[in-house]
Amino acid sequence: MRKNTAAPAPADLPSPRTITGWIIRPRDSLPTKNVAQLDQVRLACPDITHACDLARAFTDLVRHRGGTMLPQWIRLAETSDLAPFWSLAGSLRQDFDAVTAGLTLPWSSGVVEGHVNRVKTIKRVMYGRASFALLRTRILRQA
């Protein structure tokens, strides 16, 4: 190799998963070093800037129960140049009433889903080992 012609060491680039984590978290909860790195990434790639803006707007809808703003966000996502957002917008549009209800109403089916998960876990653990009566007893005993 000739003198002084070696390629410079590659920059330490954050992984896509790391960048996604920075985008999804609230900006004020990020350390200043990560905010600076995210700003550098946004400046380097306009697509990431647009994706970041759309993702942050959607997370704000979810965090602040902004179901009334959902149609506007879907229009923004459908007019963007980013195909993953088109797909998400299409999925949200297919089940629009349910998504809007989930983003506006205070009720949740989380407790029911937790019980279903518990019952399924017990059932899987006991698969092929015991009768229905024992399964029923274990489920009712833990309730």
Task: Give 59-101 pLDDT, tens digit per residue.
Answer: 999 999 999 999 999 999 999 989 999 999 999 999 999 999 9
Per-chain mean pLDDT for the chain: 89
Alpha helices in the chain (DSSP H): 16-24, 32-44, 46-63, 70-79, 83-94, 96-104, 110-126, 132-142
Q: What is the pTM of this model?
A: 0.68
Question: In 10 A of CB 93, how many CB atoms?
Answer: 14
Domains of the chain, residue spans: 16-104, 110-142
Separation of alpha carbons 73 and 93, rounded Å: 11
- pLDDT interval class at 2 (50, 70, 90): low
Write out the two tokens for 37: 């790195």
- As a whole-number percent, the residues of the chain with pLDDT over 90 amount to 54
Cβ partners under 8 Å of residue 71, min gap 6: none
